[in-house]
Amino acid sequence: MSAKEEDAPMEHLPVDHNNDDEASSMHHESKKEEDEEGLLVKGYEVVLCGTGLVQSILASALARAGLDILHCDAMPYYGEFDAVLTWDQFASTTTTNDVTTTPMTTSSSSTIVSNDKDDASVLTLHSPTSMQMQMHSSSLQPATTTMEMVEWKVGTELSTPYGPGRLVSLPSSFSPLKDSVVMELTEWKLANQTCPRVYFGANCHDNNNKISSLSELQQYLAQECGVVPMTTLYGEWLYQQRREVGLDVTPGLLFASGPAVDGLLASGVADYLEFKSMLGLYLLSSSSSSSSSTQELKRVPCSKADVFSTKLLPPADKR
């Protein structure tokens, strides 16, 4: 190359702006048009109702295949019957979803129902039982710590400024207030091996503070004397610990050497999981020590030592 050619200015090639317009046009064509709510204007090829494990796996597979998926759920949380709820979610769900509509009739197994419109089809994944559970959610109210919710009666365990106690007697009349609320301190022992007694409420009825019912007396003792039922304290403690609790909608167990665990390990999903051994298994059954309809939790024996020490099994069954 000569010096003249080397010093010559470089020739600027014309820029074809049409190519940029074509690329921009192709980009806009690839971006699907959405409405103000973020939904595709042209519609969807597949609509999945429910965000359970089965639906989520199916949605992922269909999306990888290039289909347009609309994945929706009527519940205010993800996971449907595979969800793990916090206490607040559980309380709000059971109180706000008491829908009194006719149960949906579905097949007990997965079936495909043809639809005349646009040659669409519907795949039913729910059983009638599960659908009725969702449509007729229980109206269970969240826990409350109001004093009126706890019925005072002889034998009720109470917390006093002097320690745990037990209610011995209540006033015989409230108009005017007669007698006192008598409690015995269960953690104290006198020389004769009896529990000391304390008296509340004898001087709490005056012109400025008229007590005319048991509920008003309970409120007074709680606010002025620090006497509350132990169940109220338990309820307050549980409510404070509510963030530590996860309620599985459909709890299930995985056997340590079962195919489910093997599949999680082989797929690599186990790297994002934490496996924990089951600490205990309890059964809710009628109380054997009481003739009333009360129920209690009983630990299910899961080891040889538990089998011989449990009272759930008769001696013949233990052998």
Tokens 């009349």 -> residue? 173
Answer whether residue 160 is part of any domain.
yes
Last residue of a domain, one of 115, 135, 155: 135
Cα R_g (the chain), whole angstroms: 34
Give long-range contacts, CB 8 A cutoff, 24+ apart: 178-185: 181/217, 181/221, 181/227, 183/158, 183/227, 185/160
169 strand-pairing partners: 182
DSSP state of 266: H
Q: Per residue in 180-210, pLDDT tens?
A: 788 899 888 888 888 998 888 655 555 445 6
The verdict on 36 and 127 lying in the same domain is: yes
pLDDT of residue 198: 87
Listed as ranges, residues in the chain with pLDDT below 50 are 1-13, 15, 23-29, 98-114, 123-148, 207-208
Q: Which residues of 190-220 are buried (b: 16+ CB within 10 A; e: fewer)?
A: eeeeebebbebbeebbeeeeebeebebbbeb
Which two structure tokens, joined as six digits, stand for 177?
């207030």
pLDDT of residue 23: 47
Q: Could you give the number of structural domains in the chain?
A: 3
* Residue 278: domain span: 253-318
SS3 113: strand
pLDDT of residue 67: 92
Answer whether residue 141 is part of any domain.
no
The Cα–Cα gap between 28 and 25 comes to: 5
Whether residue 176 has a cis bond before it, omega within 30° of 0? yes
The verdict on 69 and 162 lying in the same domain is: no
